[in-house]
Structure 1
Amino acid sequence: MNKNLPLAGIRVLDLSRYLPGPFCTQILADFGAEVIKVEDPGTGDLGRHLPPLIAGESARFYTVNRNKKSITLDLRKEEAKEIFKKLTAVSDVVVDQFRPGVMDRLGLGYEELKKINPKLIYCAITGYGLSGPWRDMAGHDLNYLNLAGVTLLNGTKDSLPALCGVQIADIAGGTLYAVIGILMALIHRQKTGEGQLCDIAMLDGSVSLLAYTFGEWAGEGEVPRRGDGLLTGGYACYNVYETKDGQYVSVGAIEEKFWAQFCQKVGRPQYIEQQYRPEMQSEMIADLRNIMRTKTKQEWVDFFAEDDICFTPVLNLEEVSEHPQVKAREMIIKLANFKESGKDVILPGIPIKLSTTPGEVKPSFPALGEHNDEVLSSVGYSREQIRKFREDKVV
């Protein structure tokens, strides 16, 4: 472990599964934290088994679980609970993604664990939070976005509400806010010596993403409608257009100077003054759709190559992986012929670029329970005790 990384020396016990929590702890691991996945014996993180599989485990698992350790504990057994408490005593952060109350019923909730380690930072990532009438409800990314009002804003005027292509509530509402909360709690602890509980609800995070939309609602005096706003497809200057070859390009020319240059270039200077006239949008959009269908995507890219007007092609993932800007920023990492499977594992790079202490991608992925002996011995258990734990299926 690089001791110069900003989170070197921070130990995280990660109880989370699937996406929100594991992605959170991966970010912490990239910047030096020791992350110990605490998994169920036999099955482990259910995210290990999501198809498609590469080399026997989920391709998705690899994208959010690099550079971690794995131990197995059956937390229903008293011996496992004692092991977890011992680990908590020498750890800095616990990340929990169970429904509210699960860890309390096990006797391992925050109120109990802080008696063992008052400096502990306990981050609970849940769908609806630790309070409120929906605290115990089940949910997934779609449900949180539905209740936040995001789904109804996705899509065109004439379409059904559209599902998002990525898990916005899980990642933006859960993963990223959990990282922020943990880091702020670490700073507070550095100042005061006190740990605390971080209550991260994916619904809360999703609602907060509507900040600019709330401004539109307040300013216009009516609830924004799908496909009707400046940033949601209702205006010609900020839209997606189909090209001759069935591909797509986009124009994001909100500023007048960009829009003017675009209009001049496509031979529609009369649209310059009509940029923000609501009654002209349908006509302009229809006309520009016809114009954009006269060239292929690449021809339009070449046509606007010298123009700084917020014009971009709409790329598929393979094109993204080969884009020079993405490659220059090392934002997609390919592990060729991973474990001689004949398939490449594709990982996200590190989006936080620190000049002095940049994060490190270490493409190692823990086998289930791989670090049982190492971690248990580090808190004083003998070989004989660990062997007995295995016999009794505690680990």
Structure 2
Amino acid sequence: MGGFLDGTVVLDLSSVGPAARASRILADYGAEVIKVGPPPRKQGVQIDPPFYSYGAGRGMKRARIDLKAAAGKRALLKLAERADVLIESFRPGVADRLGIGYRDVRALNPRIIYCSTSGYGQSGPRSGQAGHDIDYLAVGGFLHCSSRRADGTPAIPGATVADSAAGGMHAAIAILAALAGRARTGEGAYLDVAVADGVLHMMSLHVDEHLATGSRPGPGSSILTGRYACYDVYRTRDGKFLAVGAIEPAFFANLCRRLGLEEWIERQLDDASQAELRAALAEAFARRDRDEWLREFEGTDACVAPVLDIEEVVRDPQFVHRGAFVEAEHPERGRFKQVGPVLAGCQRPEGVHKVPTGTDTAELLAAAGLTADEIEQMRAEGVIA
């Protein structure tokens, strides 16, 4: 069984960030992703050889093309003629100035799904600003509503939430929706994906509350951000932690019974009692080690989970059972494990994943119709590699 996107050709002009996350999702589901980047001497920010880059390029082909050269632009447009999707993450307006914008590509391929990803979108007062994950989380209200450090500053999340969820997944979903629409209408589409918009969508519970009531949500203001003691993290005797998400009354009652705190069952959401309840829960959890508590709660619906460090995560029986980790091989660095595709309904690829280290430029351009002489001339001029 192949992937759901078998036969779908994607050109990805990004290097890192949300667009790269989106193309990896598409590749994992079977799309033929061609990663287009500049020749080595013209590269900017690089993530090679850190191990994330080995997984980021999983299952993709590579084309090294100088898009600032006229011949490079023509080569890219030839590749775009047979593509289903093109993803770019330049600053707004750059693709147009290079002559590879949506209008340029659509003139050659009206069925193209052209996805522009950026921090703030293609228009608006912030559209030209540089930014990274932390910036998009900041303007979307995420950091404001996050927990505070000892000095009162917002805590930085432990993962690239904006790039991955608000940006990469947002872009992948938009592309898939556009492909479904094209299958019905035959028409391509232009997609303007802004990471900050995705963050705003993630914050909709807080934003909608403010718009409806005038309230000012912040850290710990709602049940899902720590307002109540039944939804928090507690330290155990061995210095490890347990996450408790016992929101539903039945789950909270089960939690209290296991901890010997039955007297608190009826006061779960009493605002005046939260400090005292939190202290009681903290004292109870501190009496035993984390894994002792896990055995105690086994088979009990109380929404209690261990806070695992990364070393524990990669050994976790549930993830191992789900085939979450795959083996890869690099010609210089040998074999190693990496996080595999998150697939729903597709057969996982078997065998050892070969990390792409070379370039497929000549092969791809030949398939697009360029002659051997044209390809060799571009190579000699440093336009391709």
**Partners in 1 of 2:180 and 2:291 — Cα distance?**
48
CA contact (8 A) 1:68 1:365 kept: no
TM-score by length of 1: 0.91
Residue of structure 2 equivalent to 1:373: 362
Matched, 1:148 2:140: yes
- CA gap of 1:157–1:136, structure 2 versus 1, over 3 A, is closer
Structure 2 counterparts to residues 88-127 of structure 1, below 5 A = 88-127=80-119
Tell me how far apart the structure 2 counterparts of residues 199 and 138 of structure 1 sit (CA, whole Å).
17
Given the alignment of the two structures, is residue 265 of structure 1 paired with residue 258 of structure 2, yes or no? yes
2:40 counterpart SS class: coil
Report the Cα offset of residue 338 of structure 1. 5.0
Q: Report Cα offsets for 1:54-73 as digits up to 9, x if no partner.
A: xxx22121122100000111
* Alignment gaps of 5+ in structure 1: none
Q: Deviations over 1:146-184 (max 9, x none)?
A: 000000111148642111111111111111011111111
Match of 1:165 in 2: 158
Match 1:277 to one of 270, 278, 281? 270
Q: 1:90 to 1:289 in 2, by over 3 A?
A: same
Number of aligned residues: 382
Q: Give the Å deviation of 1:365.
A: 2.9
Give me the whole-angstrom Cα distance separating, in 2, the residues matched to 1:37 and 1:285. Answer: 50
Cα separation, 1, equivalents of 2:277 and 2:326: 41
Unaligned runs of 5+ in 2: none
Paired residue secondary structure (1:160): coil
State the alpha-carbon separation in 1 of the partners of residues 177 and 51 from structure 2. 32
C-alpha displacement of 1:321: 1.3
Q: How does 1:215-254 map to 2 (within 5 A)?
A: 215-217=208-210, 221-254=214-247
Q: Normalised by the size of structure 2, how large is the TM-score? A: 0.93
Describe the superposition over 1:172-205 as per-residue Cα deviations: whole angstroms up to 9, x where unpaired: 1111011111111111111111111011000000
Task: State the distance in 2 between where 1:40 and 1:375 align.
Answer: 15
**Where in structure 2 are the equivalents of 1:1-395 lying within 5 Å?**
4-43=2-41, 49-50=46-47, 57-156=49-148, 159-217=152-210, 221-335=214-328, 339=331, 341=333, 344-347=336-339, 349-354=340-345, 357-358=346-347, 360=349, 363-368=353-358, 370-395=359-384
For the residue of structure 2 that corresponds to 1:249, the secondary structure is strand
Amino acid at match of 2:112: L
Contact 1:31 1:358 in 2 (8 A): no
2: CA distance, partners of 1:106 / 1:300: 60
Contact preservation (8 Å) 1:237, 1:275 = yes
The residue type equivalent to 1:22 in the other structure is A
Give the Cα separation in 2 of the matches to 1:365 and 1:224.
Answer: 45
What is the distance in 1 between the residues matched to 2:41 and 2:157?
Answer: 30
Please state how far the C-alpha of 1:97 moved relative to its aligned partner.
0.8
1:181–1:44 distance in 2 versus 1, CA, 3 Å: farther
CA shift, 1:107, in A, is 1.1
How many Å separate the matches in 1 of 2:249 and 2:143? 30
Change in CA separation of 1:353 and 1:45 when aligned onto 2, cut-off 3 Å: farther
Query: 319-328 or 137-146, which moves further after superposition?
Result: 319-328
Deviates more, 1:178-187 or 1:326-335: 326-335
Deviation at 1:345? 4.2
Q: 1:264 to 1:148 in 2, by over 3 A?
A: same
> What's the RMSD between the two structures over aligned residues?
2.1
Relative distance call for 1:43 and 1:32 in structure 2 (3 A) is farther
CA deviations on 1:104-159 (whole Å, 9 max, x unpaired) are: 01111101211111111100110000111111111000000000000011114864
Residue 43 to residue 167, structure 1, CA distance change in 2 (3 Å): farther
One-letter amino acid of the counterpart of residue 190, structure 1:
A
User: Residue 231 of structure 1: SS of its match in structure 2?
Assistant: helix
Deviation string for 1:64-110 (max 9, x for gaps)? 21000001111111111111111111111110011110110111110
What is the alpha-carbon distance in structure 1 between the residues aligned to residue 286 and residue 211 of structure 2?
37
Quick one: distance in 2 between partners of 1:212 and 1:289? 28
Task: Give the conservation status (yes or no) of the 8 Å contact 1:9–1:34.
Answer: yes
1: CA distance between counterparts of 2:289 and 2:331? 39
Q: Name the CA shift for 1:215/1:328 in 2 (closer, same or farther; >3 Å).
A: farther
User: Residues 280-336 of structure 1, C-alpha deviation per residue, up to 9 Å, x if partnerless?
Assistant: 00111012112211111111112212312111111111211111111121223344x
Q: What whole-Å deviation, never above 9, does each CA across 1:320-373 have from its counterpart, x for those lacking one?
A: 1111111121223344x75463773422x332311xx445477233225x1012
Give the C-alpha shift of residue 269 in structure 1. Answer: 1.1
Residue 45 to residue 10, structure 1, CA distance change in 2 (3 Å): farther
Deviation at 1:211, TM superposition (A): 2.5
Q: Judge conservation of contact 1:16–1:22 (CA < 8 Å) in 2.
A: yes
Tell me how far apart the structure 2 counterparts of residues 178 and 317 of structure 1 sit (CA, whole Å): 28
CA gap of 1:382–1:219, structure 2 versus 1, over 3 A, is closer
